[in-house]
Amino acid sequence: KSVIAGIKNLMDYESYLTEEMKSYISLEYDNARKVVNDAKLVVSASGTATLEVGIIGRPMVIIYKTGYITYFIAKNLVTLTSIGLINLVLDNKIVPELIQHEATAEKISMELSKFLEDELYFKQTKEKLNKTVTLLGDGKASLKTAELLLEYLN
């Protein structure tokens, strides 16, 4: 069963679900950490959420869509190899990223299926994500993340 983590009073996710969808998708409000802890796989927007999911050790597919003009400007001004903070911190594309036109239901499903169908890929991804805990594990995660990002950007 799939679970969508949401924030109550921010968006009415339920209005997007058909009756059929409600049989295999449930909503959990204001408790994203529980949803991630209970999950085998996660689909996450880019940003700090990817770092949190990575620290918890859940394989994920990172998705990001923005307006065309914003995307065009960012693509031409920013020279990052990854958009997911977890991939930036680990300096390696550990988890797949689907950006802009690549973030389709079909491609998201395909990437999730790779994790579900290839046990070795799933296990290796979890092991690589566990390096995040080692890298950031002494309670100074924010400082280390900032240092890594500054080093990367310089």
- Classify strands 42-45 and 25-29 as parallel, antiparallel or unpaired: unpaired
Element (DSSP H or E) covering residue 129: helix 119-136
Global confidence as pTM:
0.81
**Contact of 3 with 10, CB cutoff 8 Å:** no
pLDDT, tens digit, for every residue of 7-52?
888 888 888 889 999 999 999 888 888 999 999 999 999 888 898 8
CB atoms within 10 A of CB 37: 11
pLDDT of residue 123: 97
Distance (Å, whole) CA 3 – CA 9: 18
Cβ atoms within 10 Å, residue 60: 27
In this prediction, residue 144 has a pLDDT band, given cuts at 50, 70 and 90, of: low
Quote the CA–CA distance of 95 and 92 in Å, as a whole number.
9
* C-alpha–C-alpha distance, residues 63 and 53, integer Å: 13
Strands (DSSP E) contained in 25-78 are 25-29, 42-45, 60-64
Q: Which residues contact 141 (CB under 8 A, 6 or more apart)?
A: 51, 55
- Burial string for 4-27 (b: 16+ CB within 10 Å, else e) reads ebbeeeeeebeeeeeeeeeeebeb
Is there a contact between 89 and 145 (Cβ–Cβ < 8 Å)?
yes
- The mean predicted confidence, pLDDT, of the chain is 87
